[in-house]
A and B are shown apart, each in its own frame.
Chain A
């Protein structure tokens, strides 16, 4: 167990040494500092009376804004940003973890250690998941806590949304690990991972297309792809609803996406375990 933890720790340190994560931490810190010190909210009877940014009044248009509505809005906006930008950056920053591990002279050293190949591979997976989780929840928990202290409203929507974002990253990471071990290429890993986003969006709206298709086979293929591939756009919708404190509806897109990630990770592990290096 301590050896797997060493792999996880090594992966976290390796990732945190990258500029992308460093920039993300700095940006998150800046956002938290602005919300903490530069934003002043005056709440009267559960509504926002005045708001000031860097000491300057923000014009509220004479409308009465409910504070819990404001908190929900900020949380949902942050979650939406993190789902898009956060996942984009995370893929970019961690796509090379497997290709780097497989470089000649490094993989030999790792495989000569008293650690099974699945443990090494899964340790790498957990390391990448941890580093993204740490970065993500640093901002999410920070914003949640600062807003909570400033307004007295403790809505858990953004925390739940953070978990969904992390799960989505976990799914994509499983795919990246599989592509990484098969191709040993960071650029192919990045391209294919980004490609899943538009494909997922296209498949989510396939019903608009299938009404025009006459070929049953093509319809089955599209349906099959829909069920096999991760449903990123639908997961984004669920995440948005959860962040806004609304019911998520069906969890099938989340579950089937998780299955896709687990399947990819299992295939990648199997290939890594059997391959000569």
Chain B
């Protein structure tokens, strides 16, 4: 892996809530690393601790125990934040400002010089599709437009690292595709992107690596391919299969199911697949179609979470 942009080791965070100060463990021994230029996705159900982790990395929430570094400096370091962009979930801006006003004000807060703001603001608003709305006050903006503006705000100071918490929340499908393209352009530029999202199809399309978080713990981490790989799993279309042939296939494959005339096989090796095909051909079945099966990230996500819930 390339040089780490985010490095977290055994991170713990407990909140105390209510009158009786009941402790709730939001992060429970998180260890992860995100390389420079990587697009990393953090998945998890509501309340898993995804937002808390980003807030800890930005210094908005303090660490109880463990260590966290961002761009080689301790998490929350004030100067380092100038190199980090952030789009929080449900972000709010002063409604009396125009879209361009918001962009300019946050650029100033990020320490961007005036001349650079002049050069970037218009281009960025155009890039997120808000050029025509730049002079309109925010109270007239739709949720999707505020979301796009949020993305522009997170990019105005050309950050090296971008934290996005539900970046496509409330955005229509076309807008989502545009946001995805912008993120891919940022990736090309070398920006490290850390995304929290419920929209697993979005994550699947842009993230190189993902981690699944539940109850403050990382259940699985790896490439999207690692998480969606089911082993050697195939779907065959070979017409009606006699029971005796199925029995011989069951002796080779680890799992055999039939569905609407299709056979779903899970085999230990490619040799096993070919032995199954030989059995079918030997019985006079014509093979019309063979396709490798992969589960979607969403299916894997649900399986992993269900596995966690059924664990004693």
- Chain A 84-112, CB-CB to B under 8 Å as 1, else 0, gives 00000000000000000001111111111
Residues of chain A in range 1-15 having any CB-CB distance to chain B below 8 Å: 2-3, 6-7, 9-10, 13-14
A276–B96 touching, CB < 8 Å:
no
| Complex Cα–Cα for A116 and B163 (A) | 19
Chain B residues within 8 Å of A114, by CB: 78-82, 109-111
| Complex Cα–Cα for A107 and B93 (A) | 10
Residues of chain A in range 102-152 having any CB-CB distance to chain B below 8 Å: 103-116
Residues of chain A in range 226-277 having any CB-CB distance to chain B below 8 Å: 276-277
B299 CB to closest chain A CB, in angstroms? Answer: 32
Chain B residues within 8 Å of A276, by CB: 15, 55, 60-62
Let me know if B34 is at the binding interface, CB within 8 A.
no
Closest to A11 in B: B94
Chain A residues within 8 Å of B91, by CB: 105-106, 108-109
Chain A interface residue number, banded: 20 to 34
Closest to A104 in B: B90
Let me know if B152 is at the binding interface, CB within 8 A.
no
Task: Tell me which of A3, A112, A277 has the highest count of chain B C-beta atoms within 10 A of its own C-beta.
Answer: A112
Residues of chain B in range 87-138 having any CB-CB distance to chain A below 8 Å: 88-94, 96-97, 105-106, 108-111
| Complex Cα–Cα for A208 and B305 (A) | 72
| Complex Cα–Cα for A116 and B88 (A) | 19
Chain B interface residue number, banded: 20 to 34
| Complex Cα–Cα for A96 and B60 (A) | 21
Chain B residues within 8 Å of A103, by CB: 92
Chain B residues within 8 Å of A10, by CB: 94, 105, 109
B58–A111 touching, CB < 8 Å:
yes
Q: Which residues of B are at the interface with A, using a C-beta cutoff of 8 A?
A: 15, 55, 58-62, 78-82, 84, 86, 88-94, 96-97, 105-106, 108-111, 153, 163
Enumerate 15 A-B pairs (CB-CB under 8 Å) in ascending A order.
Answer: A2-B111, A6-B105, A7-B109, A10-B94, A14-B94, A104-B92, A106-B93, A108-B58, A112-B60, A112-B86, A113-B110, A114-B78, A114-B110, A276-B55, A277-B61
Q: Which residues of A are at the interface with B, using a C-beta cutoff of 8 A?
A: 2-3, 6-7, 9-10, 13-14, 17, 103-116, 276-277
Knowing that A3-B109, A276-B62 are A-B contacts, what are 5 other residue pairs whose CB atoms are under 8 Å apart, sorted by A's residue number?
Answer: A2-B111, A10-B94, A10-B105, A104-B92, A277-B55
